[in-house]
């Protein structure tokens, strides 16, 4: 080959060599996150992480089931380094599907209490959400309420609104009850609860709160951050509905209030594993935990960080000490039990 013909290939050859040399360096400056949390509930934190570390975060949001299926179908070719979900049951499902890997970090161990993380390090809680009883201020006295089990009493017939059994939040609640009381007792409770429904289950947590405020029912269960969002909403109708509802912390003398976590785990085939762990560490840092508390009205997973003023206004409560990993382990049993109880 003559010299002129060789020169024609030099630009492309040099370009290829440049890309091969620089690809690892470029890849080292990013981390890919699959998140089941809405973008506005996580993006500001990710932006702060990028500013502090220089690591770009590529965010993909979606439904939890879809993201898990995507991880499974992508296999070793997945670009995802970290999976973030809104429930311990979903994290456990991801672990069981083999799409997460165990990681250890001194910061995570110090900041995240043992009951809010997987015992082997496959995932870590990032924020805590409580699911207490919410009731109509003008129709129910707090003295009438006591435990989750009490909601199956016939006195509440036609007075309870509830989200469907498809809700992983309700599935986790039932899983927690199975852990404490066994399947037989929990199933009897679920059947009694269903018999007290004011209407067939429909809508999300905010819809249950609005139904109580509108007089469709007197009592419901909902995660506190939904009520917090309504209390601080720019929508007057939401604020007015929230003002008609009060919080009751059940099981104060027994197992405590059911709690769950949003959390994250490093994917099994993470290409930027170190950056994924660094992002996990950041999300449990004091600044990030304060943001969760003040902006999302969630309880910080780090006990050193106080809750928001909104949450403080509802008082302190005894939280269930059950390791939330158990909620995922018992999820299949909970779903079958809810089906048998007629919980649609």
Kindly state whether residues 123 and 134 are assigned to the same domain.
no
Pairing of strands 124-130, 299-300: antiparallel
What is each CA distance from 327 to 114, 158, 196, 319, 333, in whole angstroms? 14, 29, 25, 15, 10
Confidence class for position 293, pLDDT limits 50, 70, 90: confident
pLDDT of residue 21: 31
Statement to judge: residues 59 and 69 lie in one domain: yes
Question: Average per-residue pLDDT in the chain?
Answer: 90
Looking up residue 228, the CATH number of its domain turns out to be 3.40.190.10
Rg of the chain (C-alpha set): 23
Structure tokens that stand for 298 in this block: 């969630």
Which residues neighbour 299 within 8 Å (Cβ) at sequence distance 6 or greater? 127, 128, 129, 130, 224, 259, 293, 307, 311
Q: What are phi and psi of 122, to 5 degrees?
A: -75, -25
Is there a single domain that holds both residue 231 and residue 173?
yes
Residue 40 resides in a domain: yes
Q: Is the domain of 11 the same as that of 74?
A: yes
- pLDDT score at 16: 32
Rounded-to-integer distance, Cα 85 and Cα 35, Å:
6
| Whether residue 24 is found in the same domain as residue 13 | yes
In terms of residue numbers, what domain contains 40? 3-128+261-304
Q: Which of 13-22, 37-46, 67-76, 308-317 has the lowest mean pLDDT?
A: 13-22
Q: Is residue 330 part of a domain?
A: yes
Residue 13 has pLDDT above 80, yes or no: no
Are 76 and 21 part of one and the same domain? yes
What pTM does this model have?
0.85
Task: Give the containing element (helix H, strand E) for 299.
Answer: strand 299-300
Query: Is residue 311 assigned to a domain?
Result: no
User: How far is the CA of 102 from the CAs of 224, 291, 294, in angstroms?
Assistant: 30, 26, 30
* Whether residue 324 sits in one domain with residue 200: yes
Mark whether 91 and 226 lie in a shared domain: no
If you average pLDDT over residues 202-207, what whole number do you get? 96
Tell me how many domains the chain contains.
2
pLDDT of residue 23 exceeding 80? no
So what's the pLDDT on residue 75?
95
b (16+ CB within 10 A) / e for 171-210: bbbbbbbbbbbebeebbebbebbbebbbeebeeebbbbbb
pLDDT at residue 10 greater than cutoff 70: no
Position 296 scores a pLDDT of 86
Structure tokens at 131: 């699911």
pLDDT at 4 over 70: no
Residue 175 lies in a domain: yes
Percent share of the chain, pLDDT over 90: 83
At residue 5, the pLDDT reads 38
Asked if residue 312 is part of any domain, the answer here is no
Beta strands in 86-232 (DSSP E): 124-130, 133-136, 219-221
């Amino acid at each position: 080959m003559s010299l002129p013909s060789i020169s024609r290939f030099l630009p492309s050859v040099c370009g290829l060599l440049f890309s091969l040399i620089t690809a690892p360096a470029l890849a080292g400056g990013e981390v890919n996150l699959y998140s089941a949390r809405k973008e506005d509930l996580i993006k500001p934190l990710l932006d702060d992480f990028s500013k502090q570390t220089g690591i770009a975060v590529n965010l993909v949001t979606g439904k939890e089931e879809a993201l898990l299926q995507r991880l499974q179908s992508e296999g070793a070719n997945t670009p995802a380094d970290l999976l973030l979900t809104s429930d311990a049951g979903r994290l456990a499902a991801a672990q069981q599907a083999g799409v997460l890997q165990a990681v250890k970090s001194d910061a995570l161990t110090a900041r995240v209490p043992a009951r809010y993380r997987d015992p082997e390090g496959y995932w870590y809680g990032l924020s805590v959400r409580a699911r207490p009883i919410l009731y109509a201020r003008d129709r129910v006295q707090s003295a009438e309420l006591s435990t989750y089990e009490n909601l199956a009493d016939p006195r509440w017939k036609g007075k309870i609104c509830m989200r469907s059994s498809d809700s992983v939040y309700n599935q986790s609640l039932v899983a927690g009850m199975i852990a404490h009381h066994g399947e037989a007792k929990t199933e009897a409770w679920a059947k009694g609860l269903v018999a007290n429904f004011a209407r067939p289950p429909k809508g999300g947590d905010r819809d249950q709160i609005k139904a109580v405020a509108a007089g469709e029912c007197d009592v419901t269960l909902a995660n506190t951050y939904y009520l917090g969002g309504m209390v601080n909403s720019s929508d007057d109708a939401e604020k007015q509905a929230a003002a008609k509802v009060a919080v009751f912390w059940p099981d104060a003398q027994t197992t405590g209030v059911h709690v769950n976590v949003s959390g994250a785990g490093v994917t099994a085939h993470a290409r930027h594993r170190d950056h994924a762990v660094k992002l996990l560490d950041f999300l449990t840092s004091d600044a990030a935990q304060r943001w969760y508390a003040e902006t999302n009205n969630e309880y910080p997973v780090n006990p050193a960080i106080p809750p928001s003023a909104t949450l403080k206004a509802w008082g302190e409560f005894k939280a269930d000490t059950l390791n939330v990993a158990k909620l995922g382990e018992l999820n299949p049993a909970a779903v079958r039990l809810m089906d048998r109880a007629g919980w649609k």
